[in-house]
């Protein structure tokens, strides 16, 4: 029953997502002025369903609004009050640190929710300005959702062909994005002449992602076409000659040769080892509580950070366990010699 219900929820999500894209592509038709708001509403429904599917992949009770009143008969009939959007995100992030929704993903999902709320509870006009806002919001949300669909949520693997088809549908927005890109070419050339590096934006796929002026340094990056923003970005040169970009996490793939880059490469490119106190013995791993990564490093550009999730780390939150000797990041847990830290409790 679990597998069948999960399959049905995912298929329902994909149906709404595909419908949303089709409506968005036709939303510039003056004879169909309502398609833009329908696209927003249906996209938001798809987001909700994908997140509920993640909860359902763990246990059916997690999709109930009030988990003290779960009932298998109500669940099987679909006659129950399900968890709302905001709470479902919180529950997903309580399941696992390895595939939790990032702050950037949550921000982008809520941007779609704001457009949806305006369409349902007030009104949404069909102006070019509003359409541009909606397209950017949905592209950004899909970029984040796409990462989970294809890389992190294994329960979606059986739907890979349908998800590939949906991803292809998003390319139908290229015509619209080309107009913005063409209007930005002079600005891009000016910034290039000033020394800024540009590469392909992970959201709109245009070569419009503006970086700093140097490789191997942490910096913020912004797409001048779709406004996709990365708080922490890193550019490296692949052995094949291609430029590889990390965006707000220590994982990337070369689009030319397919080489996968992980946190160890971030450490190497930044010429940093594991975190250690200045002047003290060999450095060794310190675990990050946000992602379970063991690559907390000291970088001159970014300060203390995790090379896996790019989370900033306060020096005062770095401790050593008196029981297992492992380094960990978080609150001081007191007498770890007697009770251990969260790392040795998890892995012992």
Which tens digits make up the pLDDT trace of 308-338? 888 887 777 777 777 776 677 776 655 565 5
Report the candidate in 167, 136, 137 with the shortest Cα–Cα distance to residue 151. Answer: 167
Confidence of residue 296 (pLDDT cuts 50, 70, 90): low
Residue 45 near residue 197, CB atoms below 8 Å: no
Are 65 and 147 members of one domain? yes
Assess if residue 184 is contained within a domain.
no
Please say if the pLDDT value at position 114 is more than 70: yes
**What integer pLDDT is reported at residue 128 of this predicted model?**
83
Confidence of residue 279 (pLDDT cuts 50, 70, 90): very low
**What integer pLDDT is reported at residue 227 of this predicted model?**
84
- Domain end, chosen from 213, 233, 261, is at 261
Looking at per-residue pLDDT, the higher value among 22 and 170 belongs to 22
Please say if the pLDDT value at position 295 is more than 70: no
* Max mean pLDDT range (50-54, 253-257, 269-273, 332-336): 50-54
Please say if the pLDDT value at position 299 is more than 70: no
**What integer pLDDT is reported at residue 104 of this predicted model?**
82
**What integer pLDDT is reported at residue 276 of this predicted model?**
47
Please say if the pLDDT value at position 282 is more than 50: no
Report how many domains make up the chain.
Answer: 3
Are 134 and 230 members of one domain? no
- Say how far apart CA 221 and CA 224 lie, in whole Å: 10
- Say how far apart CA 72 and CA 99 lie, in whole Å: 27
Are 148 and 249 members of one domain? no
Lowest mean pLDDT among 32-41, 158-167, 169-178: 169-178
**What integer pLDDT is reported at residue 270 of this predicted model?**
76
Assess if residue 281 is contained within a domain.
yes
**What integer pLDDT is reported at residue 83 of this predicted model?**
93
Are 165 and 234 members of one domain? no
Are 337 and 213 members of one domain? no
**What integer pLDDT is reported at residue 223 of this predicted model?**
92
- Say how far apart CA 301 and CA 27 lie, in whole Å: 44
Lowest mean pLDDT among 36-40, 153-157, 283-287: 283-287
Are 59 and 170 members of one domain? yes
- Say how far apart CA 5 and CA 257 lie, in whole Å: 39
Are 17 and 114 members of one domain? yes
Are 205 and 284 members of one domain? no
Assess if residue 70 is contained within a domain.
yes
Are 283 and 234 members of one domain? no
* Max mean pLDDT range (11-20, 151-160, 258-267): 11-20
Assess if residue 188 is contained within a domain.
no
Assess if residue 37 is contained within a domain.
yes
Lowest mean pLDDT among 87-91, 105-109, 165-169: 165-169
How many Cβ atoms are within 10 Å of 270's Cβ, its own excluded? 21
- Say how far apart CA 33 and CA 64 lie, in whole Å: 36
* Max mean pLDDT range (44-58, 134-148, 291-305): 44-58
Strand order in the sheet with 198-199: 198-199, 209-210, 219-223, 229-237, 243-247
pLDDT single digits (tens) 50-75: 999 999 999 999 999 998 889 999 88
- β-partners of residue 219 are 233
Are 92 and 226 members of one domain? no
pLDDT single digits (tens) 170-217: 877 777 788 788 888 999 999 999 999 999 998 888 999 999 888 888
Question: CA 306: distance to chain centroid?
Answer: 16
**What integer pLDDT is reported at residue 345 of this predicted model?**
64
Are 52 and 141 members of one domain? yes
**What integer pLDDT is reported at residue 292 of this predicted model?**
66
User: Domain limits at 292?
Assistant: 274-347
Assess if residue 186 is contained within a domain.
no
Are 157 and 212 members of one domain? no
Assess if residue 268 is contained within a domain.
no
Assess if residue 46 is contained within a domain.
yes
- β-partners of residue 235 are 245
**What integer pLDDT is reported at residue 47 of this predicted model?**
96
- Domain end, chosen from 174, 205, 231, is at 174
């Amino acid at each position: 029953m679990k597998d069948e219900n999960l399959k049905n929820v995912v298929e329902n999500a994909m149906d709404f997502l595909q419908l949303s894209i089709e409506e968005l592509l036709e939303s510039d038709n003056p004879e169909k002025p309502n398609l833009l708001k329908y696209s927003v509403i249906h996209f938001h429904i798809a987001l909700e369903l994908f997140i509920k599917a993640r909860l359902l992949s763990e246990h059916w009770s997690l999709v109930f609004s009030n988990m003290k009143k779960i009932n298998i008969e109500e669940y099987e009939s679909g006659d129950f009050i399900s968890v709302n959007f905001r709470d479902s995100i919180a529950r997903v992030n309580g399941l696992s640190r390895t595939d939790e929704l990032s702050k950037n993903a949550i921000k982008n999902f809520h941007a779609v929710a704001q457009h949806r709320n305006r369409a349902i509870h007030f009104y949404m006009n069909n102006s070019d300005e509003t359409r541009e806002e909606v397209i950017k919001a949905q592209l950004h949300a899909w970029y984040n959702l796409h990462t989970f669909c294809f890389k992190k949520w294994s329960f979606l693997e059986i739907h890979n062909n349908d998800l590939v088809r949906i991803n292809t549908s998003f390319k139908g927005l290229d015509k619209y994005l080309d107009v913005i890109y063409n209007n930005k070419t002079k600005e891009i050339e000016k910034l290039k002449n000033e020394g800024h590096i540009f590469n392909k934006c992970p959201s709109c796929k245009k070569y419009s992602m503006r970086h700093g002026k140097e490789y191997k340094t942490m910096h913020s990056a912004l797409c001048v076409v779709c406004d996709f923003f990365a708080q922490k970005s890193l550019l490296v040169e692949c052995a094949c000659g291609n430029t590889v970009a990390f965006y707000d996490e220590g994982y990337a793939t070369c689009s030319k040769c397919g080489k996968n880059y992980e946190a160890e490469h971030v450490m190497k490119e930044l010429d940093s080892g594991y975190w250690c106190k200045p002047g003290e013995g060999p450095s060794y791993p310190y675990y990050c509580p946000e992602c379970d990564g063991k690559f907390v490093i000291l970088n001159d550009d970014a300060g203390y950070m995790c090379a896996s999730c790019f989370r900033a780390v306060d020096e005062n939150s770095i401790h050593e366990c008196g029981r297992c000797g492992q380094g960990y990041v978080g609150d001081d847990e007191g007498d770890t010699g007697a009770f251990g830290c969260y790392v040795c409790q998890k892995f012992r």
